[in-house]
Structure 1
Amino acid sequence: MSLRQRASIANSDRTTADTTTSTSSDQPSAAVHDGVSSNRAPQKRIRLNRVLGRIVPIILLVYICYAYDLVVHRYAIRYLYVQQKCTLLPLLWLFPTHALFLWSLRCYLCVFFAHSKTQTCGGLTWLHNRLGTCFPSPDESQRLEEKHLAQAISALLPSERSDVRVSLCQSDGQPIRCNRDNCRGRIKCFRTRHCGDCGTCRVGFDHHCAWFDNDITAPSTLKHFIGFLLSIPPLYLVAFGPIFPTAWRVVRQIHVFAFSDTHLRETWWQRWYSWIGGPAFRWIFGFGMAATKWSSMAEERLPHETPRAPVLVALGWVFAFVASSLATSSLMHLRHGRLTVDVERERAFQRLQQRLAKLRKEEQQTNQTKTAALRQKIDSLAPVLYIKLSWIEPEATERHERIVTVSTDEGLLSQGSPWSNLRRFLGRTTDTKPAWSLPDNALQIALQKSSLLSAAH
């Protein structure tokens, strides 16, 4: 993220006012300049998110295949239908299981195949167009934002103030631009940020998720992301619920076999090299050897009595726990109008402030260059948005300009009530402003600070 200078804006020929704290090029509330104001070539380096984005979907696919084999093929078909001669029970159980699975799969594919309008994907173009959602164009979003601002101003101000223009800016009044990767100085609207993993600006950017190897943005993919997270816990309970007793029984049988088998005791448990990797490695590797030998023994077992059962159940529990935790935290933040990037930037801002306070206590030994760099980072993360307003006074020909600031404490991010925020981020916005647009209350505060609108309005 780029850095922006904190400025004290004084009234001058442009009537610049409201000197408050700084804002960043990628602040929690607004689309701001993501790159340092320079035209240096982007650095080509390995990003962890991109590496995980190639690996995690494959891991999920492998897990789904093994889980489907255990739940549907081994338990529902081979055990319930073939051995137990049950027909109605498997159908009644598999119907809600597949309904939840298809819902989860649909949500996942909508995010995984999400694409830009200008994106060309070769042979996967059809899949992207049919299954994935479409990210809004930053340029089109900028024009749409200008239209919404003009409509909101006409509704708030009298007709003689119809010439008022509002735009987001940096502390010096310059437009907010992105110079990273191939953006080439593109002007950015509210809540637009640059994704370093995808190399482009995203409107309503929340975060880049390695689970989908794609961006989570509001509202394009955020609602599908939340839907996917909410579908995992019930899918886990419905699909693996009947398998829980079998999985626990298999664990107990392998545990007994691991310490009762003479060959395992002589070759592993009683050997000094079993402790080389520590206690955890000793137990994991020993149980792995016992599970392999136990499963290869010629004994009659149920089709779903396999060492994979407890492993799949345990991994599924971890996945369901992580998904439910992410869904809960995301919904709590969305209630207050905050996206993931907003929360992370706020935490980083607080950590840097604590570091600066610690450096001030050691002022005599502090490196001034280090302190200045730290202040600059703090300025770049300040939860403040600069808004430039320009207008022509009655019976005047010269256009006046004023720069005001709106902070998150003043309601910069929130659209109103918690329900309004959730509906804006997760619902359909065909008849309302998009989730990434500047809230009306933030615009009203800016007009009041510029004395164009009375506080009693």
Structure 2
Amino acid sequence: MSLRQRPLQASNSTSRTTSEPPGQPTNPTQPNCHPSTPPRKGIRLNRILGRIVPIILLIYIAFAYDLVVVRYAHRHLYLQRRRTLLPIVWLLPAHGLFLWSLRAYLRVFFAHSPQYTNKSSGLISWLRTNFGAAFPDPDEAQQLEQQRLNTLATSLSNTEVKIELCQADGQPLRCWRDNCRARLKAFRMRHCGDCGTCRVGFDHHCAWFDNDVTAPATLRAFVAFLASIPPLYVIAFGPLFPSAWHTLKQIKDFTASDAVIRSKWYNKWYSWIGGPAFRWIVGYALRASRWPKPSKDRWPHESPRTPVLVALGAVFVFVATALAASSLTQLRRAMLTVDLERAKAYGKLRLQMEKLEKLTNGSDVEKLTAIRQKMETLSPTQYFKVSTKDKNSGEEKESIVALSPEEGLLSRGSAWANIGRFLGLKQASSSDGPAWLLSEPALRKILQAAALLPRENSN
């Protein structure tokens, strides 16, 4: 999920004018001229997890629904205790929140490219069309970027302006991975190695959904799903907390009085091979297998399954809360997950290069060059080729402008403005387009660096 086309050398200046005509063919020795690489056939862990995790979630939801609705609400509250109003008052908000959470999950799980519905038919296509979000088309994203630029450059009445994402030497920035086939890259477009294609506003490929999370197409639904898990857990399992704790204590007392379990497991040396946690889990499974069958004296929801489901739900809540907090913290700084991971990798490479320079005094040129090449690949600084054409004289010029995150490349303003933009809130995105587009201040800085707009007075 990284850009692999940046050159080895980068210009130190933020703007320069080139004398080559825009239509000049690319030199075969340039990095952009290698053939596209075939799709990777190796095993990717994220893809394997993407097949397993949704199934685990589905199984957990089925068992949890049986425990909460069937065993506790229906059999215990309604049939045994003759409560009618209480289950209704409790289950209505629980089902409402569950359906809202399910809708958010399906929007990410069934997200698809715009071309998908035109080439597929059947149940899966219907589900994707009606429940899934549509990823922005990369070509349309570039057209929208140019339209915004044309609007901003209306003050340049006699000059046509075009801005393209490029390398430091002015070569077009293309993706050669998998099936992209030298696709031109736009701002905030990243390649997903798990899906084998470029995504506009790419954040990360999530194994929970076996799909890409992009801003704002699926990022809003992703955060909404994560935020819905803690309240849904409390509402659904809250009445069962005392029963789960009571059942856990009963199983513990049952184990202490059962000589068979102690002789088969707890008194054996190999019970400690996997550590205390493994010893306790296997012991719990043995206790559950010898747990007496349900009777009239025991509540329907009183089973070894209850503490397990409550504990697993707590794990889901912890993971979802951590992911939601991490995502919102990054969005406050206008950073997506892929930006953070690339920044971490860039920092590690910089420390590695500094350490190697100290050890070898700069003599190991081959390794240092390889590290610099990787650093250029992961550099947060973006380069833009500004092409201009005078409508009267027909004179054409090109300038290469570098813009870094510190200069306002990513940010949209305040923290709440950044969050609102990336989550696709109407009040935040109506005036400046989608979050994956360059902001108007960033566009102005690029045009100012290319000497097309006057620089703002610092006073």
TM-score (norm 1): 0.90
The aligned residue for residue 150 of structure 2 is: 150
> What per-residue deviation string (whole Å, max 9, x for no partner) do you get for residues 133-159 of structure 1?
1111111111111111111222xx443
| One of 36, 40, 63 as aligned partner of 1:39 | 36
Aligned-partner residue type, residue 148 of structure 1? R
CA distance in 2, matches of 1:294, 1:255: 11
Aligned-partner residue type, residue 95 of structure 2? H
| One of 56, 64, 68 as aligned partner of 2:65 | 68
> Are the aligned partners of 2:17 and 2:399 in contact in 1 as well (CA < 8 Å)?
no
Deviation at 1:113, TM superposition (A): 0.6
Q: Alignment partner of 1:165: what SS?
A: strand
Alignment of 1:100-119 (within 5 A): 100-119=97-116
> What per-residue deviation string (whole Å, max 9, x for no partner) do you get for residues 183-214 of structure 1?
11111211111111111111111110110011
Deviation at 1:365, TM superposition (A): 9.0
Deviation at 1:247, TM superposition (A): 0.6
> Which range moves more in the overlay, 69-78 or 333-342?
333-342
Aligned-partner residue type, residue 203 of structure 2? D
Deviation at 1:373, TM superposition (A): 1.0
> Are the aligned partners of 2:226 and 2:323 in contact in 1 as well (CA < 8 Å)?
yes
Aligned-partner residue type, residue 261 of structure 1? D
CA distance in 2, matches of 1:208, 1:231: 20
- The answer to whether the aligner puts 1:340 opposite 2:344 as a matched pair is no
Aligned-partner residue type, residue 230 of structure 1? A
Q: Alignment partner of 1:208: what SS?
A: strand
> Are the aligned partners of 1:35 and 1:180 in contact in 2 as well (CA < 8 Å)?
no
Question: 1:138–1:13: structure 2 CA closer, same or farther, 3 Å change rule?
Answer: closer
Coordinate RMSD, CA, aligned: 2.3
- The answer to whether the aligner puts 1:443 opposite 2:443 as a matched pair is yes
- The answer to whether the aligner puts 1:359 opposite 2:362 as a matched pair is no
| One of 14, 33, 50 as aligned partner of 2:18 | 14
The aligned residue for residue 129 of structure 2 is: 129
Deviation at 1:446, TM superposition (A): 1.2
Q: Alignment partner of 2:52: what SS?
A: helix
The aligned residue for residue 251 of structure 1 is: 248
Deviation at 1:295, TM superposition (A): 4.1
Deviation at 1:72, TM superposition (A): 0.5
- The answer to whether the aligner puts 1:309 opposite 2:309 as a matched pair is no
Question: 1:396–1:315: structure 2 CA closer, same or farther, 3 Å change rule?
Answer: same
Aligned-partner residue type, residue 150 of structure 2? A
Stretches of structure 1 lacking an aligned partner (at least 5 in a row): 17-33
> What per-residue deviation string (whole Å, max 9, x for no partner) do you get for residues 213-262 of structure 1?
11101111111101101100000010000011111111111111112112
Deviation at 1:93, TM superposition (A): 0.4
Alignment of 1:197-276 (within 5 A): 197-276=194-273
Question: 1:392–1:122: structure 2 CA closer, same or farther, 3 Å change rule?
Answer: closer
Aligned-partner residue type, residue 115 of structure 2? T
Question: 1:274–1:172: structure 2 CA closer, same or farther, 3 Å change rule?
Answer: same
> What per-residue deviation string (whole Å, max 9, x for no partner) do you get for residues 83-139 of structure 1?
111111111100110011000000000111111111144421111111111111111
> Which range moves more in the overlay, 218-227 or 369-378?
369-378
The aligned residue for residue 4 of structure 1 is: 6
The aligned residue for residue 419 of structure 1 is: 416
The aligned residue for residue 159 of structure 1 is: 157
The aligned residue for residue 27 of structure 1 is: none
The aligned residue for residue 23 of structure 2 is: none
> Are the aligned partners of 1:3 and 1:376 in contact in 2 as well (CA < 8 Å)?
no
The aligned residue for residue 172 of structure 1 is: 169
> Are the aligned partners of 1:359 and 1:366 in contact in 2 as well (CA < 8 Å)?
no
Aligned residues: 437
> Are the aligned partners of 2:36 and 2:178 in contact in 1 as well (CA < 8 Å)?
no
Question: 1:335–1:83: structure 2 CA closer, same or farther, 3 Å change rule?
Answer: same
Deviation at 1:377, TM superposition (A): 0.8
CA distance in 2, matches of 1:13, 1:446: 14
> Which range moves more in the overlay, 49-58 or 286-295?
286-295
Deviation at 1:294, TM superposition (A): 1.9
Q: Alignment partner of 1:152: what SS?
A: helix
Aligned-partner residue type, residue 18 of structure 2? R
Question: 1:115–1:35: structure 2 CA closer, same or farther, 3 Å change rule?
Answer: farther
Q: Alignment partner of 1:85: what SS?
A: coil
> Are the aligned partners of 1:15 and 1:402 in contact in 2 as well (CA < 8 Å)?
no
The aligned residue for residue 25 of structure 2 is: none
CA distance in 1, matches of 2:34, 2:394: 34
- The answer to whether the aligner puts 1:456 opposite 2:456 as a matched pair is yes
CA distance in 1, matches of 2:112, 2:273: 49
Aligned-partner residue type, residue 203 of structure 1? V
Aligned-partner residue type, residue 207 of structure 2? A
TM-score (norm 2): 0.90
> Are the aligned partners of 2:229 and 2:317 in contact in 1 as well (CA < 8 Å)?
yes
CA distance in 1, matches of 2:290, 2:431: 63
> Are the aligned partners of 2:5 and 2:174 in contact in 1 as well (CA < 8 Å)?
no
CA distance in 2, matches of 1:300, 1:121: 55
> Are the aligned partners of 2:191 and 2:198 in contact in 1 as well (CA < 8 Å)?
yes
Aligned-partner residue type, residue 53 of structure 2? V
Deviation at 1:349, TM superposition (A): 1.0
> Are the aligned partners of 1:295 and 1:307 in contact in 2 as well (CA < 8 Å)?
no
